[in-house]
Each structure stands twice: as structure tokens, then as C-alpha cells.
Structure 1
Amino acid sequence: MTWTAPTGERREAPASTGERAMLQGWLDFHRDTLLAKCAGLTAEQLTRPATPPSALTLLGLVRHLADVERCWFRQRFAGEDVDSLYFTDEDPDADFHALDPARAAADHTALGAEIAACDATAAGRDLDETFTAPGGRTLNLRWVYVHLIEEYARHNGHADLLREAIDGATGA
């Protein structure tokens, strides 16, 4: 039996709320949007690039965003000693390379687990709490939220095009 990406509820984007709830709400909206772009597709479809020679795929985006979440919330902001899920020194783009349809369910689950871990890491932390990023820049948790929203929004545009090329689906 072939694994198919599950469907889920996309939460509404927040309309009028406080800053913290607004940032979390928009991040959740964009996380849900990526998963909606994958919903109903088989593992093989999720690993299909839309425009060769590009290696960009929906599963690659899922893997990439799991690593981006881990990198910014857990490794950099919280200083957790956790390895990247896919990035390596030998292949910094490993999240997009060597995709295996047999691992699609595990990769999808890894994103969900990373989202939960990152939300737990940020919960109760002040948006003004700072950390030193590579290059010596001092950033705060607010910056991480805004960056992740931007990262998802940009890649959700890619996901729109990838999904349409796979089965013609648009929207969501």
C-alpha cells in the first residue's frame, strides 16, 4: 500500500490579537499551508520535481522547513545541542537531495515533531529574549518568528507551483 500525505485543518490567519498570538498564528497558518499543499499526494508524487533540472520537490520543502525550524528555534535561539535532521557539512542541501519515497511518511512526521518541539521551546519565552547568531548578530525571538513566517511564505509559493505541476490542484 502506498503512503499518502494526510489532509488536515488549516487554521485561520489571525485578524486582531496581541503580538505574540499574531506571530504564532501566522506561523501556524503557513505551516498548515505547506501541509495542505502535500495533502492527498503519494510519496512518489511528493518526490517529483516540477521543472527539471531543478531538484525542488514538495518532500524536499517539508524536509527543508523541518531543519529550518530546528536550526532557528532550537539550535540558535535556545542553544540546544541537537544535530540537523538532514543538513550535513558534506551536503548542505541534503534536505533536497537523496529523497526516498519510502521515507516520505517519516519525513512528514519529522516536520510535525519538529514543529511541536519548536513550539515547546518558544512557549513562555519573551519575544525580546536575545541570542547571538552566526556572524555575531544579536537577534531576538521575535526575529525568529518573523523569519520563519517569511521562510514558509516564500516556500509556499514554490509549493503552489509544484502542486499544480503534479496534479493541477491550485488554491489552499
Structure 2
Amino acid sequence: MTTTDRPMPPLQADERATLAGWLDFYRATLLGKCDGLTDDQLRTPAAPPSTLTLLGLVQHAAEVERNWFRRVLLGEDVPAIYDGADDASGHDGGFDLADDATFAAARATWEDEVARSRDACAARGLDETSPFMGGQVTLRWVYSHMIGEYARHAGHADLLRERIDGATGT
């Protein structure tokens, strides 16, 4: 199933390299779940009543990257990427699909946001803070949160992929 290169997180590294390694591992895991599928398959929802799709997960990942690394960490005032992504629940959206949404476009957007995220982290120390919810949040916390975010959605992607074509795995 997987043709996406998925780097093994370092086994002996400092904290920053370990956190970045695990985040990259889970980023690649999510993309790998989409390998070899058509746009129609990537738009296939899990099971009623859920409308969750692999394509929606990739769009959501782009929104989450933008939110945590650009809005929170850098304090940028950037709009949502996808219509309705800034929903009232406070969740980063992107799950809903436009009629013309394609994996190629979603992946390109996601890759751009990941590149911007890496740039945002490059010059910051793990203990540097940014304003968040009336307090401060460290880069370490954002890395940890994003690892959990991607790991959770990689699990969702596993189930979606298995429902689409029976493929399972790492």
C-alpha cells in the first residue's frame, strides 16, 4: 500500500530531533494511507452517519498545520484554507469536501503548510512561548500536540483505508 517515504524517527537523538522525527513519521503515515487510491476512493466516507474521508483528513491536516504553527506559534492572522474550516466548535476544519476537491490539490496545500511549519520551528527553541488561550504555549507543547493529532488521524485513516480496499498496515 505505502509508497510514501516514511522516515523512521531517530532512536538516539536530542529532544527536538525526536519530536520533529515523530511528527514527520506521522505526517508521512497519513499520506501513505492515501497512496494508490483514486480521488473517488479518497472521497469515500467511513460509514454512515460519518462523512469522514481520507481526502478530508488531508485537508484537515493542512488546516491544523496552519493553525498551530502559523496562527498560534507565529501569531499570523491567516484565514482558513477551506470554506467553513473555522467552525464555531473551535476545531480546525477542512473535513468537508468541495465538489471540485482533489487529492493533488489537497496534498500540494498540505505540503506548503508543512514547509511553512518547519520554517516556523527552525529558529525557535523548544521552551520559547507564544500567546495561547490567555496564557503561553511552548514549541515543545505544540510538537507534542501535533504528534497526537496526526497519530489519532492516522488511526482514522487506517480504518478508512481498510474499508475502501482492505489494505491494512503501518
Q: CA deviation at 1:130?
A: 0.6
Residues of 2 paired with 1:74 and 1:93: CA distance? Answer: 13
Q: Determine helix, strand or coil for the equivalent of 1:38.
A: coil
- Where does residue 118 of structure 1 map in the other structure? 117
SS in 2 for 1:9: coil
Structure 2 spans left out of the alignment, 5+ residues: none
2:65 paired residue among 45, 59, 69: 69
Once the two structures are TM-superposed, the CA of residue 124 in structure 1 deviates from its matched residue by 2.0
> TM-score, normalising length from structure 1?
0.90
Percent of aligned positions with the same letter in both sequences? 54
Instruction: Show CA shifts across 1:70-116 (max 9, x none).
Output: 10111111111211212135796751123435532111111111101
Task: Flag the 1:101–1:25 CA change in 2: closer, same or farther, 3 A.
Answer: same
Number of the residue aligned with 1:169 = 167
Q: Deviations over 1:122-167 (max 9, x none)?
A: 1021111111112x13111110000000000011110000000000
* Structure 1 residue aligned with 2:26: 30
Unmatched 5+ stretches in structure 1? 1-5
The size of the alignment, in residue pairs, is: 166
2:6 maps to 1:7: no
1:2-151 matches, cutoff 5 A: 7-86=3-82, 87-89=85-87, 94-100=93-99, 102-134=101-133, 136-151=134-149
- Mean Cα displacement is larger for which, 161-170 or 87-96? 87-96
